[in-house]
Amino acid sequence: MGTTPGRRVVPAALGASPAGALTITPVACGLDNPRGMAFGPNGALYVAEAGEGGTDFCFDHAGFGHACAGMTGAVTRLWNGKQERILRGLPSLADEFGSALGPNDVSPHGNGNLYVTIGLGDNPALRNSFPAWAKTFGWLVKGNPSGTWRPVADISAFEAAHDPDAGQPGTEVDSDPYAVAALPGGEVVADAGGNDLLWVDANGAASLLAVFPVRFVPIGGRIIPMQFVPTSIAVGPDGAFYIRQLTGFPFPPGAANVYRIVPGEQPTSYASGFTNIIDLAFGHDGSLYVAEISHFGFLSGNPAGGVWRVSPGGGAKQLLTTSVVSPGGIAVAPDRSLYVDTCADCSNTGGVVRIVP
């Protein structure tokens, strides 16, 4: 079972910008639990919004407790100075505090195609009691800027049928489709609950690319298994997939790593020493930018996120800033500036900032 963003208290002031010369400018506001983001070929920035749940039906959820669902998930586009929700009516569930689960990531591809992962964060069998419209929790869907969308692949059904990380300590049947990268011929999807990486072909059939193992970490004088929880995919300049880990409980600071994945080979470590990484993006010079949803760790209660730069090839890393609140995604613009969405667990008050290093 993986762990995805949860609710935290947001103070008025956060940390500093260690680099000292950053310009951070708000460029969007009023987003509902913003998560993954990506630039399209036309220079537009697309942001997945997990929504704010709804009142259509309520149920007990493994991660959210008593949750209520509705069609409030969305994708927002920032383009030519305009902020617009171009894709609406996607499944969303939320707890009583407004922290939500729904659209986790968006990947534009081709002329107007938007691939979006819809989270689940529970055993896929939970969907047996859902109404028909809500059975697309746990799916990869395809939309477009005109506002229509359709299901593409049932990612959570793959977990139910195969449970690739079965037998590892502390794991169970659990699925939360999180990150997606749309490529020619199909899509790569990271299942944060299933701790695996999948390929979805042009017919919507899913197959396994990699399984991520648990690690053993100390807590309270004991050694316990900690799950990987993959929530980001970046395609590197070398064509390999770069996957980052949020880490599961107990979320030890400094324990999140970035791994390089070549299908058919064992994952190799690319960069290490991060905390609760939520997203990755490569810059035009081969630098890797890393966003931490919590720089000090989930158990710290401090929502300050971190943004890092890793030198090309996995060399030295530099902490750029800790002055962003609970980032949910990061993207590099054509002009080489960084875009980070903030307050990934906030309803109506999420936003996007532009960072110029």
Instruction: Tell me the C-alpha distance between 303 and 282, whole Å.
Output: 24
pLDDT at 279: 95
Per-residue confidence of the chain (357 residues) as pLDDT tens digits?
455 554 333 333 344 555 457 899 999 999 999 999 999 998 999 999 999 999 999 999 998 999 999 999 999 999 999 999 999 999 999 998 888 999 999 999 988 899 999 999 999 999 999 999 999 999 999 999 889 999 999 999 999 999 998 888 888 899 999 999 999 999 999 999 999 999 999 999 999 999 988 888 888 788 888 888 999 999 999 999 999 888 888 888 888 999 999 988 888 999 999 999 999 999 999 999 999 999 998 888 888 999 999 999 987 899 999 999 999 999 999 999 999 999 999 999 999 999 997
Q: Is 282 exposed, middle or buried (0-12, 13-18, 19+ CB in 10 A)?
A: middle
Q: How does DSSP classify residue 298? A: G
Place of tokens 């409030």: 72
For residues 126, 127, 129, 135, the Cα torsion angle rounded to the nearest 10 degrees is 160
pLDDT at 216: 85
Structural domains in the chain, sorted by start: 23-356 (2.120.10.30)
Residues 6+ positions from 162 with CB-CB distance below 8 Å: 208
Q: For the residues of 251-292, what is the DSSP string, one character each?
A: --TT-EEEEEE-TTS--EEEEEEESSEEEEEE-TTS-EEEEE
Q: How does DSSP classify residue 212? A: P
Instruction: Tell me the C-alpha distance between 254 and 272, whole Å.
Output: 8
Confirm if 104 and 177 have CB atoms less than 8 A apart: yes
Percent of the chain that is helix, strand, coil (3-state, to 5): 5, 50, 45
pLDDT at 82: 96
Q: Which of 4, 39, 100, 25 is nearest to 294 (CA)?
A: 4
Contacts 24+ apart (CB under 8 A), 301-310: 301/8, 301/9, 303/8, 303/9, 303/10, 303/11, 303/14, 304/14, 304/15, 305/278, 305/340, 305/342, 306/274, 306/275, 307/338, 307/340, 307/355, 308/274, 309/283, 309/357, 310/258, 310/270, 310/271
pLDDT at 301: 84
Token pair in block for residue 227: 């799950």
